[in-house]
């Protein structure tokens, strides 16, 4: 027996994409209203991978809750951990040693590179090119090896602790990172040759999923998604944390606001990340990698908020403390959630095939949206 086709009152077709669909990059369920092949409405249905991380954190101490945040945005787990460590340090007014700050920023940028590489491969795969995925994973594997050597894990590092980093860098760290940068700078033009200049890719991306500057602000977009529309929102520039005020880098801005603009922003960000690491890698100061902290951490009564720039946008960590061993309330402002909310606006009036291209350049990580 044939399934009955879902049609609403006006004769529009309603289809479900996901929760198990390769183009949604996870368990995201989109209810799409179609008129022919044109999208009339997209209704994202969330909650398939909700693990109540915020509630879980309320029962964990200030040392313990950091590891959970690696499981939110698993592609920039080190940056998430950095944000949590910064919030706790802000509450306890811990002075972080300079060496730890340098290590943290280098690791952050390596994580951003790895995340953008994976995004590049996956985005090209979404629009039909399979080979770039393997190119991206070749370079990403080198970063993962550097991470594994120093942090002990490839994805969920848990390298940040309140007051610094968990262990000193591996003796090979600097040599391997420099070798990677030299290798990757060679390979980046290859990325452009294979995908950026490709006419099929450009036709799939240009003038697709346009979002204006005003709309990007009103939807709360952040990261490359907003910067492609010309919103200057790089937290590393606007509210520098750690040692970002000491390094030279440019905030990448595009004005087109389409999928290709978001693509170009991320490609340029990779170059900026390389530039940041190059400035720091030879100048890691000597000293402690971790500040002396008390055995039991107790945040004073009050509210603490920090924000950092992850690979996807602005991550905010909000802690309400009652002065106890555990946070009273924790809230994460995740970049993916706000970026996803703009999907309906971007994809309205486009063809259903373009929706996949728009989703690819939004760089959604579903565990980050649901938490």
Partner 1 sequence: MFITQYIKEVFTGVKSLLIGMRRTGYYFTHHKEIITQQYPNEIPVMAERFKGEVIMLHDQNNEHACTGCTACELACPNATIKIVTKFDITPEGKKKKAIDKFVYHLELCTLCNLCIEACPTGAIKMGQNFEHSVFNRAELTKVLNKPGSKVRDDVE
Q: Is 239 in the site for partner 1 (CB under 8 A)?
A: no
Crossing angle between the packed helical segments 259-281 and 173-191, to the nearest 10 degrees:
150
Q: Is 151 in the site for partner 1 (CB under 8 A)?
A: yes
Q: Is 43 in the site for partner 1 (CB under 8 A)?
A: no
Q: Is 130 in the site for partner 1 (CB under 8 A)?
A: no
Binding mask 175-194 for partner 1 (x = CB under 8 A): ---------------x--xx
Stretch that binds partner 1, among 18-26, 62-70, 267-275, 356-364 (CB under 8 A): 62-70
Stretch that binds partner 1, among 26-34, 141-149, 210-218, 236-244 (CB under 8 A): 141-149
**List 174, 198, 268, 341, residue binding partner 1 (CB under 8 A):** 198
Tell me how far apart the alpha carbons of residues 371 and 367 are, in angstroms, rounded to a whole number. 5
Judged by beta carbon, residue 38 or residue 156, the one nearer partner 1 is 156
**List 42, 84, 161, 346, residue binding partner 1 (CB under 8 A):** 161
Q: Are 356 and 127 in contact (CB under 8 A)?
A: yes
Closest CA to 315 of 329, 336, 334: 334
Question: Residue 16, CB half-sphere, CA atoms under 13 Å: how many?
Answer: 10
Distances 4 to 7, 151, 204, 221, 336 between C-alpha atoms, Å: 9, 53, 32, 38, 34
Q: Is 65 in the site for partner 1 (CB under 8 A)?
A: yes
**List 41, 156, 268, 279, residue binding partner 1 (CB under 8 A):** 156
Q: Is 138 in the site for partner 1 (CB under 8 A)?
A: yes
Least distance to partner 1, CB of residue 337, Å: 24
Residue 12 tokens read as 């529009």
Judged by beta carbon, residue 7 or residue 200, the one nearer partner 1 is 200
Distances 131 to 137, 141, 268, 281 between C-alpha atoms, Å: 10, 16, 21, 31
CA dihedral of 13, 18, 24, 27, whole degrees rounded to 10: 150
Closest CA to 108 of 283, 242, 223: 242
Q: Is 83 in the site for partner 1 (CB under 8 A)?
A: no
Residue 4 tokens read as 């009955």
Least distance to partner 1, CB of residue 141, Å: 7
Tell me how far apart the alpha carbons of residues 251 and 223 are, in angstroms, rounded to a whole number. 11
Least distance to partner 1, CB of residue 323, Å: 20
Distances 125 to 128, 132, 154 between C-alpha atoms, Å: 5, 7, 23
Judged by beta carbon, residue 37 or residue 141, the one nearer partner 1 is 141
Query: Interface with partner 1 by CB under 8 A: which residues?
Result: 60, 63-65, 67-68, 131, 134, 138, 141, 145, 148-153, 156, 158, 161, 166-167, 170, 190, 193-195, 197-200, 202
């Amino acid at each position: 027996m044939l399934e009955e086709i879902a049609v609403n009152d006006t004769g529009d077709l309603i289809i479900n994409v996901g929760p198990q669909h390769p183009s949604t990059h996870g368990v995201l369920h989109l209810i799409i209203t179609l008129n022919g092949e044109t999208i009339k409405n997209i209704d994202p249905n969330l909650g398939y991978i909700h693990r109540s991380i915020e509630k879980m954190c309320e029962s964990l101490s200030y040392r313990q809750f950091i590891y959970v945040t690696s499981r939110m945005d698993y592609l920039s787990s080190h940056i998430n951990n950095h944000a949590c460590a910064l919030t706790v340090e802000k509450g306890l007014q811990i002075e972080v040693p300079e060496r730890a700050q340098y290590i943290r920023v280098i690791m952050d940028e390596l994580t951003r590179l790895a995340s953008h590489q994976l995004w590049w491969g996956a985005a090209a795969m979404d629009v039909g090119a399979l080979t770039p995925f393997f190119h991206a994973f070749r370079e990403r594997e080198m970063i993962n090896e550097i991470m594994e050597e120093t942090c002990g894990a490839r994805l969920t590092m848990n390298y940040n602790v309140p007051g610094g980093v968990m262990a000193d860098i591996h003796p090979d760290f600097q040599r391997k990172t420099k070798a990677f940068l030299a290798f990757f700078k060679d390979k980046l033009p290859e990325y452009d040759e294979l995908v950026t200049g490709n006419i099929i890719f450009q036709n799939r991306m240009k003038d697709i999923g346009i979002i204006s500057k005003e709309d990007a602000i009103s939807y709360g977009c952040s990261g490359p998604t907003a910067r492609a529309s010309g919103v200057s929102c790089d937290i590393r520039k606007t509210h520098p944390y750690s040692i970002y005020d000491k390094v030279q880098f440019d905030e990448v801005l595009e004005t087109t606001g389409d999928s290709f603009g978001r693509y170009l922003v991320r490609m340029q960000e990779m170059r900026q990340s390389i530039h940041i690491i190059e400035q720091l890698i030879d100048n890691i100061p000597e000293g402690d990698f971790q500040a002396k902290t008390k055995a039991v951490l107790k945040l004073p009564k009050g509210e603490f908020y920090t924000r950092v720039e992850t690979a996807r946008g602005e991550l905010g960590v909000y802690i309400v403390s009652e002065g106890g061993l555990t946070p009273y309330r924790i809230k994460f402002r995740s970049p993916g959630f706000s970026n996803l909310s703009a999907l309906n606006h971007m994809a309205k009036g486009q063809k259903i095939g373009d929706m996949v291209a728009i989703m690819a350049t939004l760089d959604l990580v579903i565990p980050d949206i649901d938490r």
